[in-house]
A and B are shown apart, each in its own frame.
Chain A
Amino acid sequence: MNYFLLLVCFSLVAAPLGARAQSPYLFRMTFRGDCFQTNGAGQFVDIPITQNDILLAAAQAGGTSDISSMALVYHIMGDTTHGDTIDIYSTTTGQKLTTVFGLFFGDAPSLNRTALTNNAATEIRRVDYVYTFNGTTYTYPGGHSMGASLTTKRFSSDARGLVRTTIEGQMEWVVNPINGAGPKVLRATFTTTKPFP
Chain B
Amino acid sequence: MNMTKALALSIAGLLLSQLHLRAQSPYLYLITFQGVCYQKNSSGNLAPVPLTQQTFLQDVAQAGGVDPKTLVLVYHIQGSGLGDTIDVVNASTGSTLVNLFGLYFGDTLGRTAATNATATVVRRVDYIYTQQNYTYTSWNPDAMGAAFTTKRFQTDAQGNVRTTVDAQMHWIVNPQGNASTKICSGSFTTTKPFTPH
State the A residues within 8 Å of B (CB).
Answer: 36-38, 41-44, 111-116, 118-120, 123, 125-127, 129, 142-144, 146-148, 150, 170, 172-174, 176-177, 182-185, 187
Contacts and interface: CB of A to CB of B under 8 A. Distances in A.
Instruction: Pick the most buried of A41, A126, A150, A187: most chain B CB atoms within 10 A of its CB.
Output: A150
A118 B44 contact: yes
Contacts of A184: 114
A144 B174 contact: no
B117 A43 contact: yes
Contact of B172 (A37, A114, A142, A143): A114
A163 to B, nearest CB: 18
30 contacts: A44-B114, A44-B123, A112-B142, A115-B183, A116-B39, A116-B46, A116-B180, A116-B181, A116-B182, A119-B43, A119-B45, A120-B44, A127-B145, A127-B170, A127-B171, A127-B172, A142-B111, A150-B183, A172-B125, A172-B146, A172-B148, A174-B113, A176-B110, A176-B111, A176-B112, A182-B114, A184-B114, A185-B124, A185-B125, A187-B168
Given A113-B140, A146-B111, A185-B113, A172 B168 contact: yes
Contacts of B111: 142, 144, 146, 174, 176
B140 A112 contact: yes
B192 interface: no
A147 B105 CA distance: 11
A116 B183 contact: yes
Interface in B108-128: 109-118, 121, 123-125
B189 interface: no
Contacts, number: 116
A113 B89 CA distance: 28
A170 to B, nearest CB: 7
Closest 8 CB pairs of A and B: A42-B117, A119-B44, A148-B146, A144-B110, A125-B183, A183-B112, A150-B170, A172-B148
Given A113-B142, A116-B183, A127-B145, A42 B116 contact: yes
B190 interface: no
Instruction: Pick the most buried of B44, B106, B140, B170: most chain A CB atoms within 10 A of its CB.
Output: B170
B118 A127 contact: no
B38 A116 contact: yes
